[in-house]
Amino acid sequence: MSLPIPLPVADLERRVWRRPGPVPVWQGEPGEGALFDPLSGETHFLGELPALIVSVLDDHWASRGTLVERIAGPVALEQQAEAQILAALVSLEAAELVESQSPETE
């Protein structure tokens, strides 16, 4: 596994995200508890925000704004909440549970 190259926040905010491969298997309700990733064969224990993000992502590219709407509806988030979502997405990408790309490469 290669380490991700840190991107400027402005670049992260424009990226789109998706969950590659087969649907993960949750132990318990989707978005809670342990997650088995059939693609890697690994089990992950996720906090609440990363688990919510994984549970609403599918194999279609989605912007950060789309993810927020899937989780909470059309809301305006404070800067700290935006930063937490970006940090969770970067962490999930490092764990190879999600992937991202610049919208220009779609």
Query: What digits encode the pLDDT tens for the residues 63-102?
Result: 988 988 888 888 888 888 888 988 999 999 999 999 999 8
Helix-helix angle 48-56:79-94, to 10 degrees:
70
Residue 1 has pLDDT above 50, yes or no: no
Whether residue 62 contacts residue 53, with contact meaning beta carbons closer than 8 Å, is answered with no
Neighbouring C-beta atoms of residue 103, cutoff 10 Å: 10
Question: DSSP label at 81?
Answer: H
Prediction pTM value = 0.81
Cα–Cα distance, 80 to 95 (Å, whole number): 23
Cα–Cα distance, 36 to 88 (Å, whole number): 18
Residues 6+ apart with CB under 8 A from 79: none
- Counting Cα atoms < 13 Å in the Cβ hemisphere of 100 gives 24
So what's the pLDDT on residue 6? 54
How sure is the predictor about 14, in pLDDT bands with cuts at 50, 70 and 90?
confident
